Each structure stands twice: as structure tokens, then as C-alpha cells.
Amino acid sequence: MFRIETKEVLNDTIYRMGIVSPRVAKKARPGQFIMLRVDEAGERIPLTIAGTDPEKGIVDIIFQAYGTTTKKLCEKEAGDEIADFVGPLGKPTEIRGQKICVIGGGVGCAIALPIAREYASVGADVTCIIGFRSKNMVILEDEFRSFSRRVFVMTDDGSYGSTGNVCMPLKEMLEKGEDFDRIIAIGPLVMMRFVTETARPWGVPVSVSMNPIMIDGTGMCGGCRMTLKDEYGRPATVFACVDGPEFDGYQVDFDEVMTRGRMYADFERHSYEKTCNLFRAADQAKKEGC
């Protein structure tokens, strides 16, 4: 069992937890992930490592209460335990280049944060763009500002920062001659696709994270199977969890991965609603003194 040391509510649906796991905390690098189970009967899910404290043996995870397991996890409190916490898994981010633009969308900012921080720690010039639906969804802004030279905050509805999507400041900087060595985009599949297409005319290397399509984290389920195409259009089959999770954005077949990402949507929604109904019934029973 693994103890939850800390719990923090970042917004209405996103939580940060510090899990006691000394071995993972010692070995984890930015870009890697863990697999966890909330209880013995629960499903295994991948969550990216948002930070570590090797001295205290604590691993930070940031997640959105979107599916069945994350809903169960957000009901846990500091001092509670979860059944499994395995890692680090996946390949760590390759830290290369001296002028970097890191782009995070929504909860993807939790993955982008440790990567951007690692670049800053080795002296890179780091620009960050973080995007959200609205002001009440903004997370981790202060952390990004603590080490970045520039931070652009974008909201879809204009309720905070600048109005629009993350591609807008990126395109503006590229048009003005910014010579980034690398762009790293992490967030919803559609966001990563548009970041890649925005950068394409300038040929700036783009890395994208395929965390959204991972399921069991071992490659055995095949759920994160995807196709990469080289500059000549020759395809190669890879698995996001064992070969990634980061890939060259120009090689990713986004049509395929976006279709794959929707395959289990109905099943996941049914499972989530069933879990929510159970929690609501339990809360009502408590109120009625049962």
C-alpha cells in the first residue's frame, strides 16, 4: 500500500497528490509516468509524474477527476492509502536545445511543468504557453512563472490572460523570427495537432506527448498502438507507453490516434456515471444517518 502524504485541490476538477514512494521518487525523470490502482479491485491507469522529492520519497501526481478511477482517487484524503503505485515507466524527455517553447493545455500542464523546469535548471531559455477553457480552470501559473523567461496564459473565453488558443502566441513569435530549438506540446490531441501544424512552415522540431491514448502502460493491451510516418511517408507501428510517450509531432498520424482516443468514450462515460451514482447514494445515506 502507498500512503497519500498530501492532497491539494487545484480547481473544481483537478487535484494534486503527493504519494510516498521512495524508489520512484529516486529514479523518476521528467516525462515519465506511473501506473496506479486505487484499490485491489480497481483498474490500472497511467498518470504522468508531475514532480518528485527524492529526500522525502514523495512523488507528485496531478490528475483530473474525469473517469471512474480518477473520481475514486479524488475522494481519497491525505493519510489514506492506494493499492499500487508502479514506476517510473516510459522514456524520459531528452533534454536538448537551449531555446525552448513548452506548451501545455489544461491538465497537460502537469506534464509540461517538470519538463520546462528541467530545461530551466540546465540554463535553457524557456518560454511557456499554457491554455485553459476559462479563468477557473487555470492551474500552475505561479510555478511556470518561477523559472520561465516568458509565460503566456490563454483562455478560450478571455476570462483571464489573453483570449484564444495556445497556437496564437506561438505563431506570432515564429512570425517575428523567434528561433526556438524545440517546441514541446502536451495536452489534448487536437491541441498538439494544431501546434504541430502551426510550427510546420518554420520547420521547428516539435515533440508531442501521447499520454492521452495510453491505457495499461505495458504495451500488452494494444490500446496505445499508433503509426509514425517518416519524411518519405513510410509507416512504422509503435506503442505510446513503451516507445514514448514523447514523439516527433511531424511523424504522428493524428487522424489515427484521435480516432483511437474516441474508441472507448461511451464505455468510459457509462462507467464514470455508475461510479458517480454510487458516491451520490453513499452521501445521501450518510445524510440520512444510515
Spell out the domain ranges in the chain. 2-89, 91-209, 210-260
Supply the pLDDT for residue 263: 54
H helix runs in 200-264, sequence order:
240-243, 254-261
Supply the pLDDT for residue 254: 87
Choice among 68-72, 190-194, 208-212 with the minimum mean pLDDT: 208-212
For residues 68 and 100, give the distance between their C-alpha atoms in angstroms, rounded to a whole number.
36
At 255, list the grid cell.
Answer: 487522424
At 200, list the grid cell.
Answer: 510546420
pTM over 0.75: yes
Supply the pLDDT for residue 44: 87
Indicate the average pLDDT of the chain: 86
pLDDT at 230 over 60: yes
Pick the CATH number of 2-89 from 3.30.470.20, 2.40.30.10, 3.40.50.300, 2.60.40.1260: 2.40.30.10
pLDDT at 220 over 80: no
What is the number of alpha carbons within 13 Å of residue 289 lying toward its C-beta?
0
CATH node for 91-209: 3.40.50.80
